[in-house]
Amino acid sequence: MDNKRLVLLAVFSFSLLMLWEAWQKQHAPPPVPSTASSQSVTQSSGAVPTASTTLNSASATAGAPPTGINAPAVASTKVQVKTDLFVADISSMGGDLIGLSLVNHKATDDKTKNFVLLEDSTEHFYQAQTGLLGDGLPNHKAEFTLAPGPYELQPGSDTLQVRLEAPETNGLKVSKIYTFHRGNYLIDVGYEITNKQQTPLMGEAYYQLARDGKIPPVGLTTVSTFTGPAVYTDEAKFQKISFTDIEKGKAKFANKANNGWLAIVQHYFVAGWVPKADDKTERTFYADKTGDNLFRAGMKLPFTVAPGQTATIGVPFYAGPQEQARLEKVAAGFDLVVDYGWLTLVAVPLYWVLDMFHSLVGNWGWAVILLTVSIKLLFFPLSAASYKSMAKMKLVAPKLAKLKEQYGSDRARMNQEMMELYKKEKINPLGGCLPIVVQIPVFIALYWVLLGSVEMRHAPWLLWITDLSSKDPYYILPLIMGATMFIQTKLNPAPPDPIQAKVMLFMPIIFTGMFLFFPSGLVLYWVVNNTLSIAQQWQITKMMGDGQKPKAIG
């Protein structure tokens, strides 16, 4: 039995199984959306914990809502804010951010439109909500008055401030303030609280993201990535929270800390509340279900305002692409929202090299090619050993066939004679597969780097490849990839088992069919990798010679 072929067959079969399961997840029927209208959706997701409510990590159930929160919503107005990076909709009800599109990133299906991250529509509900908990304080259902504009970032100005005023109640005057910054996806969201009472004001501010469980479209890739809340603290580190666990009441995460942040992650983009590093106020994290396919995740922070004083509180809000260089500057651990799977330790340095090549050539397609060549050079000794072993196996193939004819009916004797032949010819039957097994984690990590990097989204290479994150529109790269796989198969020694031989011949066809719908950046990697492998394998086979004594391989 050809051990190398068995290992390769196992690897291919496992890969097919993973891809099939991922395809099923990606193309499974979506959850039945709530039949409520946009207004009722906002209502049902509006309950917030009271100041005294405690939410634990196992089951974050909302406490009794503040007075009046379930009353019918009054007619609200909204204002549209425009900056160099955002088109944002801010509602007078709660002063919430109910819509946010990214100017520099286009929609998945229609590249003439901006990518929409937050929205309040019948198809998708996703809002950034904030409020204050305490007697006489406005929550995200309170009606604010929008201060006069401008609502557009002016040329030469680096900041744009939008101010909303709540009605003064019981000697408490509250203003909600948004501050947008040029060239920055961080938005400062804060409150200015004036306490005209004779006693200290003690309350809590909450910052939450409310959305449905709909998985956003990410193109034609057959592998689904994580969508859902995530919490980070210095002690517990990065913790994903699935919508499924929230719905079942099984969500577990660190719910109290004096550091950390909370976000909702999706493919390529993230929105999150990220308190400043020097803010050591204890925060309580929560995540729960608020309605039919509706969820929320947020944090609460206590505050105190002395009598006759004005205090300013707030938490920055990041809403934008998962660009590594930006995320690392936002907060500790915030770059972990980029989903590289279980091989993050390998994927991070691979991305760093890829980004370095991009800074040199200015094109992500050429950067992928340079990275592929670099990886090939790094593993050249291992690959050379693998191809050398395969070349030797090809030389002894006639002898193996003769043994099969002679001892075909006696499997034990045939295996014994094969081992004797390997020993005589100084061939390690595992020599061709072990180097491949060692490289598998690197290849899988690179796969996730190319899949998860937002930089690949809508990035052109050349000619007909205008988007490395979507499929080849003419299927040229997948067909080339299939051809290179077929050539590699023919260069390898034929397995002694006819069934294995047929399976190996069908592999290029099967993988070509799958790669027809893979992002072209991934297919480009495989084409370059296979082409280099063919050149290396052909050269080694030539150096070994046909039927001649093996020559030294450098």
Are 375 and 320 contained in the same domain?
Answer: no
- Quick one: 385 and 515 in the same domain? yes
Locate all alpha helices (DSSP H) within 133-270, ordered by sequence: 243-248
- Contact at 8 Å (CB) between 457 and 450? no
Using pLDDT thresholds of 50, 70 and 90, give the confidence band for residue 38: very low
What one-character-per-residue DSSP string does 450-500 give?
HHH-GGGTT---STT---TTS--TT-HHHHHHHHHHHHHHHHSPPPSSHHH
Q: Are residues 372 and 393 in the same domain?
A: yes
User: For residue 150, is the peptide bond before it cis, meaning its omega torsion is within 30 degrees of 0?
Assistant: yes
Do residues 319 and 361 share a domain? no
**pLDDT tens digit sequence for 128-162:** 999 999 988 999 999 999 988 889 999 999 999 99
Q: Is 70 exceeded by the pLDDT of residue 476? A: yes
pLDDT, residue 434, reads 59
pLDDT given for residue 88 in this prediction: 97
Are 257 and 389 members of one domain?
no
> Does residue 116 fall inside a structural domain?
yes
Which residues contact residue 525 at a Cβ distance below 8 angstroms, ignoring those fewer than 6 apart? 368, 371, 372, 446, 450
457 plus 385 within the same structural domain: yes
Query: How many domains does the chain contain in total?
Result: 2
Burial degree of 119 (CB within 10 A; 0-12, 13-18, 19+): middle
Q: What is the pLDDT of residues 337-357, one digit of tens each?
A: 997 877 888 888 999 999 999
User: 324 and 386 share a domain?
Assistant: no
With a cut of 90, say whether residue 29 has pLDDT above it: no
Give the separation between CA 168 and CA 175, rounded to whole angstroms.
10
Residues 269 and 126 in one domain: yes
Taking residues 282-292, report their average pLDDT: 95
What is the arrangement of strands in the sheet containing 237-240, beginning at the earlier edge strand? 145-146, 159-165, 172-181, 186-195, 310-321, 269-273, 261-266, 228-233, 237-240
Distance of CA 493 to the CA centre of its chain: 40
**Range name among 7-16, 166-175, 472-481 with the lowest pLDDT average:** 7-16
Q: Cα separation of 43 and 34, whole Å? A: 12
> How do residues 196-246 score in pLDDT, each as one tens digit?
999 999 999 999 999 999 887 665 545 567 899 999 999 999 999 999 999
3-state SS assignment for residue 252: coil
For residue 535, being part of any structural domain is answered with yes
Domain of residue 487 covers: 348-544
**271: in domain:** yes
Q: Model confidence over 379-421: pLDDT tens digits?
A: 777 766 666 666 666 667 677 777 777 766 667 777 777 777 7
Clarify whether residues 385 and 356 are in a common domain. Answer: yes
Tens digits of residue pLDDT in 168-184: 999 999 999 999 999 99
Please give the pLDDT value at position 5.
46
| Residue 174, domain member (yes or no) | no
Is 289:247 a contact under the CB 8 Å cutoff?
yes
Asked if the structure places residue 343 within a domain, the reply is no
Same domain, 381 and 447: yes
Beta bridge partners of 356: none
Max mean pLDDT range (34-43, 53-62, 292-301): 292-301
Q: Does a structural domain hold residue 549?
A: no
Report the C-alpha gap between 417 and 320 in whole angstroms. 64
Residue 286 lies in a domain: yes
What's the CA gap between 241 and 440, in Å, rounded? 29
| 193 assigned to some structural domain | no
Q: Which of 369, 231, 349 is nearest to 297 (CA)?
A: 231
CATH of the domain at 58: 2.70.98.90
Q: What is the pTM of this model?
A: 0.78
**How far is residue 514's CA from residue 20's CA, in Å, rounded to a whole number?**
10
436 and 535 in a single domain? The answer is yes
On whether both 431 and 529 belong to a single domain, the answer is yes
pLDDT > 90 in the chain, percent: 47
Identify the H or E element spanning 293: none
Q: What are phi and psi of 255, to 5 degrees?
A: -100, -5
Listed residue (38, 114, 7) closest to 386, CA to CA: 7
Residue located via tokens 């709530």: 34
* Choice among 68-77, 173-182, 517-526 with the minimum mean pLDDT: 68-77
Question: Does the N-terminal peptide bond of residue 473 adopt cis geometry, omega within 30 degrees of 0?
Answer: no
